[in-house]
Amino acid sequence: MFANALPGIVRAIHRNTFRSGIVLGAVVLVWGAIVLAGMGALIHYENTPGAAARSPKQWPQQSGLVPSDSVATLVMFVHPHCPCTRASLGELEIIMARCQTRPRTHVVFLQPTQFEDGWAHSGLWKHARSIPEVTCHLDHNGREAQMFGALTSGQAVVYDANGRLRFQGGITSSRGHAGDNVGRASLMTVLQHQKTQPPATKEFCVFGCPLFSDPEVSRKN
């Protein structure tokens, strides 16, 4: 009797194994598609720049920052809780280490009025303060950022000793990625040859978090 039932049992096992294989294969395909989609979204995010600045061609007279009249002045605008900006500060550190004549450098941290001052004293603040000859500032309600047209964390601008805009943009190749890039190279060239460099005509991509929740509102202020 068992011998007669054995072929049926074997066929049932084969059918169940086949079905299980199909189910497992489908699960693997779906999982693979999800992983690939996630990786694609991450790569897209890392390589999508933030909103470009509209920096004034001359140093804004209303600014509370003090420019130099003998060397270039570099200003970087930072959201204190933007993880992408750690790489921008790392690139700034390299620039300051390699420059024979260092620019007067300000790193300006967004400080919304609804938060206490300690809100801006993040790890990025400590990093910036550790860079030689860098002065950190709190930018209450983004007033300075708005005067310089900065919209994205990591935005850098360079003005020469005559107050003319020589560089505007970012100094990383993508979000959170340090290393050689065209923005940093161009900024270094400006600092080394500012007397012969033409005024800034190109905006290099800035990879960072928005400084303001509504960039259009900040443009109008």
Provide the 3-class DSSP secondary structure of residue 75.
Answer: strand
State pTM to two decimals.
Answer: 0.76
Detail the DSSP E strand segments found in the chain: 73-78, 104-111, 134-140, 155-159, 165-169, 203-204
Between these two residues, 38 and 124, which has the higher pLDDT value? Answer: 124
CATH number at 194 reads 3.40.30.10
Pairing assessment for the beta strands 155-159 and 165-169 based on DSSP bridges:
antiparallel
Residues 76-118 pLDDT 10s? 999 999 999 999 999 999 999 999 889 999 999 999 988 887 8
Statement: residue 67 has pLDDT above 50: yes
Q: Give the range of the structural domain holding residue 86, as residue numbers without chain letter.
A: 73-220
The model's pLDDT over 129-152, given as tens digits with 9 standing for 90+, comes to: 999 999 999 999 999 999 999 999
pLDDT at 52: 83
d(CA 160, CA 179): 25
Same domain for 120 and 206?
A: yes
As a whole number of Å, the end-to-end CA separation of the chain is 90
- Residue 91 has phi, psi (to 5 degrees) of -70, -40
- What is the rounded distance in angstroms from the CA atom of residue 169 to the CA atom of residue 183? 7
- The total of other beta-carbon atoms located within 10 Å of residue 73's CB is 21
Residues 34 and 88 in one domain: no
pLDDT, one tens digit per residue, over 172-214 is 987 567 778 899 999 999 998 876 676 666 778 999 999 997 5
Q: Are strands 104-111 and 134-140 parallel, antiparallel or unpaired?
A: parallel
60 falls within a domain: no
The number of folded domains in the chain is: 2
- Per-residue pLDDT band at 38 (split at 50, 70, 90): very low
**Segment 160-183, tens digit of pLDDT:** 999 999 999 999 987 567 778 899
> Is there a domain that residue 53 lies in?
no
> Is residue 56 one of the residues assigned to a domain?
no
Question: 10-36: per-residue pLDDT in tens?
Answer: 455 556 665 555 655 555 555 455 444
Residue 151 shares a structural domain with residue 212: yes
Helices (H), 99-181: 123-130, 143-147
Q: Do both 25 and 103 map to the same domain?
A: no
Q: What's the Rg (C-alpha) of the chain?
A: 26
Shared domain for 172 and 95, answered yes or no, is: yes
Q: What is the pLDDT of residue 130?
A: 97
